[in-house]
Amino acid sequence: MKRITLRFLVIVCMVSQGIWVSSCEDDSGPTGIKVKDPTTDTLDSNLGDGPIDFSQLTDTYGQLAPVANIYDWAHYNVHDPSIFDNGDFFYCYTTDVAYGAQVRPGHNIRRSKNLVEWEFVGWVVGGNNLPVGEISDRAYPPLGLEHIRSNGGEPFDNLWAPYAMKYQDEYRVYYSISSATPRLSAMGLMVSDKPYGPFEERGLVVTSLNNSTRQTNAIDPTVTVADDGSHWFYYGSAWDGIYKIELEPSTGLPKEPGDIGTRVAQRAFTGNSINGNIEGPEIIYNEEFDKYYMFIAYDWLESKYNVRVGRSDNPDGPFFDYLGRNMNEEVDDLPMILAPYRFQGHSGWQGVSHPSVFIDKESKDFYLAHQGRPGADRFFMVLHVRQIHWTEDGWPMVSPERYAAEEETAVAESEIAGNWEQIILGYQVVPGYADEQTSPDFQIAQNLTINADGTLSGASTGTWTYSAPWLTFDLEGESAPFKLKVERGRDWEKSVDETILYTGLNAEGTAFWGKKVD
């Protein structure tokens, strides 16, 4: 695993009430914020020095939220991340957002060596020389902007949900631009020979209009590259579910211009009301199981946001869920591998979705990144990265704790017995969107004792056995025994550097999480 330590990179001369003030530094930009010139991969000569200072990685960040501090944001003010490993750094591209402030459009770029500490690099659109609060045409991709305006709309003050990838020697960022007019949106492609740009717009991929066409909203893009070299583009938010189209690999644009694709996934309904949003698809291939996996975000992004998964033998589907159901049926699919949760002594995390799934090229480990909003204040947005583990029959499950660049060593059977907190990721259907889904529906940790005599008491009762790294529970009330993957990890809630964790799925596809507390 790559390991590095972030050094804060920018000196801000004056910050007051979230307002940036001009500075007298010679190398400052027009806002008074020191401008970076990312022309090499050595932006900070101190990168890689020293251990991680976890005391700096707080749940809230009011003092850093104003845009004057943008080069100190690190993993803060992150929403809808898209991450890939280019061999030197992990690069992260995000929606343009800030807690209590307005940052200019353009898709933020960050990078990291260890997936814990992040360095703010700049923007995809408009480069680094525009004022960070400027909302002007220069901060939007021209073709996307023209689509919005030529159809009578004005763009929102940000770009949404990018997808970033490297193909051969080219870096591609698919952007989303939308408006207050329902479904008046577009996705286009920006390209560069460097991950930090400068980027140029190559063309539009998919557009949508406020009309009666049966199609989803043209935002939230992702691409998967198949073994045979074909490229498949997935997208969608609310409306009519998730769609797919085929791309021309050499250009990254549709094989058939104007193709809006076909639907591959949707939600269930309660009466005439949809059970909630479906958006943010991410597809990744796992060579070990020879399967393509579709990760999808369900529900409202500030509250009940959660992650569902299906899989397919083919890059273009069809995708089936844990219970064997086609994801294009009107059902809510399982498993749900991540949902709002609360361990004891903490306000909890909600809005934990819009998944980015990626592979560390060096270790070959899989990771899932997403935004997390603390229960203390749902408007803070923090980048979370979790390790993905796999069941023996090839289903993904995520760690109950964020990745902390920890050293992974085997857990002995003698370490299992003790007091734990357990979370079972249950779910209550609340049809609707923001107005209806106001509750995060936190899944709350309960006390569990794993006894040395092979029994369980507290939140679950039954028996257990262990053969590293698999902990098997045979629980009262469960239809069959099931296995949980055991690992070492950081206890973020209690600021403990190392504890023992488990994650797994029961026979019905319900996720079980555990954290040893003593």
Tens digits of residue pLDDT in 414-467: 999 999 999 999 999 999 999 999 999 999 999 999 999 999 999 999 999 999
pTM for this prediction? 0.92
Tens digits of residue pLDDT in 134-180: 889 999 999 999 999 999 999 999 999 999 999 999 999 999 999 99
| CA distance linking residue 205 with residue 188, whole number of Å | 5
Going by pLDDT thresholds of 50, 70 and 90, the confidence category of residue 311 is: very high
pLDDT of residue 212: 85
Q: Mean pLDDT lowest for which of 3-17, 62-76, 476-490? A: 3-17
DSSP conformational letter for 445? P
Average pLDDT over residues 485-514: 98
| CA distance linking residue 253 with residue 176, whole number of Å | 14
Query: Cα torsion for 486, 488, 491, 497, to the nearest 10°?
Result: 170
Going by pLDDT thresholds of 50, 70 and 90, the confidence category of residue 36 is: low
Name every residue whose Cβ is closer than 8 Å to that of residue 320 and which is 6 or more positions away in sequence.
Answer: 310, 311, 312, 326, 327
pLDDT of residue 255: 97
Cα distances (Å, whole numbers) of residue 175 to 186, 260, 329, 420: 8, 16, 28, 43
Q: Return the residue matching tokens 């329902």.
A: 182
pLDDT of residue 47: 55
DSSP conformational letter for 143? H
pLDDT of residue 131: 85
Average pLDDT over residues 118-129: 91
Going by pLDDT thresholds of 50, 70 and 90, the confidence category of residue 29 is: very low
- Token reading at 46: 């101190």
Tens digits of residue pLDDT in 369-412: 999 999 999 999 999 999 999 999 999 999 999 999 998 899 99
Average pLDDT over residues 293-308: 98
End-to-end CA distance of the chain: 28
Dump strand ranges (E) for 80-169. 82-85, 90-94, 108-112, 119-123, 160-167
Going by pLDDT thresholds of 50, 70 and 90, the confidence category of residue 214 is: confident
Q: How many CB atoms lie within 10 A of CB 228?
A: 7
Determine what percent of the chain falls in helix, strand and coil, rounding each to the nearest 5: 5, 40, 55
Going by pLDDT thresholds of 50, 70 and 90, the confidence category of residue 13 is: very low
Q: What is the mean pLDDT of the chain?
A: 90
Q: In b/e form, how buried is each residue of 416-451, taking b as 16+ CB within 10 angstroms? A: bbeebbbbbbebeebbbeeeebeebbbbebeebbbe
pLDDT of residue 130: 86
| CA distance linking residue 474 with residue 481, whole number of Å | 4
Q: Could you tell me which of 252, 259, 277 has the C-alpha nearest to residue 267?
A: 277
Contact 269, 285 (CB under 8 A): no
More confident residue, 314 or 6: 314
Going by pLDDT thresholds of 50, 70 and 90, the confidence category of residue 344 is: very high
Going by pLDDT thresholds of 50, 70 and 90, the confidence category of residue 12 is: very low
Contact 16, 77 (CB under 8 A): no
Going by pLDDT thresholds of 50, 70 and 90, the confidence category of residue 43 is: low
* CA diameter of the chain: 71
Q: Could you tell me which of 196, 350, 316 has the C-alpha nearest to residue 247?
A: 316
Q: Is 39 helix (H, G, I), strand (E, B) or coil?
A: coil
Going by pLDDT thresholds of 50, 70 and 90, the confidence category of residue 37 is: low
| CA distance linking residue 156 with residue 139, whole number of Å | 12
pLDDT over 90 percentage in the chain:
85
Q: In b/e form, how buried is each residue of 301-327, taking b as 16+ CB within 10 angstroms? A: bbbbbbbbbbbbeebbbebbbbeeebb
Q: Is 413 helix (H, G, I), strand (E, B) or coil?
A: helix
Contact 318, 241 (CB under 8 A): no
Which amino acid appears at position 305 of this protein? Answer: Y
Contact 139, 130 (CB under 8 A): yes
Average pLDDT over residues 353-373: 97
| CA distance linking residue 32 with residue 165, whole number of Å | 32
Q: Is 153 helix (H, G, I), strand (E, B) or coil?
A: coil
More confident residue, 171 or 34: 171
Which amino acid appears at position 342 of this protein? Answer: R
Given a cut of 50, whether residue 6 has pLDDT beyond it is no
Q: Return the residue matching tokens 């020979």.
A: 193
Q: Mean pLDDT lowest for which of 123-127, 164-168, 338-342? A: 123-127
Q: Return the residue matching tokens 């998919």.
A: 206
Provide φ and ψ at 48, rounded to 5°. Answer: 100, 0
Cα distances (Å, whole numbers) of residue 275 to 7, 80, 278, 281: 44, 22, 9, 17
| CA distance linking residue 70 with residue 54, whole number of Å | 20
Contact 488, 503 (CB under 8 A): no
